Amino acid sequence: MNYPEPITKLIDSYMLLPGIGRKTATRMAFYTLTMDKDDVQEFSENLLSAKNDLRSCSICGNITTEETCSICRDESRDQSTILVVEQPKDIMAIDDMNGYDGLYHVLGGVLSPVDGVGPENLNIKLLLNRLRDNSAVKELIIATNATPDGEATAQYLAKLVKPAGIKVTRLAHGLAVGSDIEYADGMTLKSAVQGRREI
């Protein structure tokens, strides 16, 4: 069906979002039409504000509205550990669990030769400079995703950092809490066995 141009443009705009196909974008566009005009205005202002007002922290690469993010400014956090993640959204997921109180570093992605992403395209140089300038850091925890590119990135970082005498660890991978072994795939079981710990 041919919709009027404004709705067609709105559908196309929603389809720019990851994981949003034509059907979902159409539902979202028509829902937007039912929203109160003030809510739509606030929604559009929030989109522009997020795009215009956010920047990368000059220390860790997290999103912030200031030069440095609130985590880097928080002196009560454990200054001896830095947890390396792919994206700022990973910081939010880890920090929300309240099980880690150290610092973070955002790479901005992972090494992916197929996609043309090399070390120069990531915040690796910033990380190395940070480690060089901060002797308080004793451990680098690599929390890239358990994908081939995430694993390659973790190995690359370990190779760069270990010679400096900093302990390099990797998040454990394996069975989820409450899962049954019989339903786990081979790669998950292998990771669980390799990441075992003493009890």
Amino acid 38: pLDDT:
97
Count of residues in the chain = 199
Q: What is the DSSP string of the chain?
A: ----HHHHHHHHHHTTSTT--HHHHHHHHHHHHHS-HHHHHHHHHHHHHHHHH-EE-TTT--EESSSS-HHHH-TTSEEEEEEEESSHHHHHHHHHTT---EEEEE-SS--BGGGTB-GGGTTHHHHHHHHHH-TT--EEEE---SSHHHHHHHHHHHHHHGGGT-EEEE---SPPTT--GGGS-HHHHHHHHHT----
Amino acid 149: pLDDT:
93
Q: Which of 170, 168, 175 is nearest to 192 (CA)?
A: 175
Per-residue pLDDT tens digits for 71-86: 999 999 999 999 999 9
CA distance 30 to 146: 38
How far, in Å, are 18, 42, 127, 165 from residue 109 at the CA level? 16, 31, 13, 25
Amino acid 181: pLDDT:
65
Interacting residues of 104 by C-beta distance below 8 A, sequence separation 6+? 60, 62, 71, 82, 83, 84, 85, 91, 94, 95
CA distance 68 to 60: 8
- Digits of tens for pLDDT over the chain (199 positions)? 689 999 999 999 999 999 999 999 999 999 999 999 999 999 999 999 999 999 999 999 999 999 999 999 999 999 999 999 999 999 998 988 888 899 999 999 999 999 999 999 999 999 999 999 988 999 999 999 888 899 999 999 999 999 999 999 998 877 677 777 677 777 777 777 777 665 4
Per-residue pLDDT tens digits for 122-152: 999 999 999 999 889 999 999 998 888 999 9
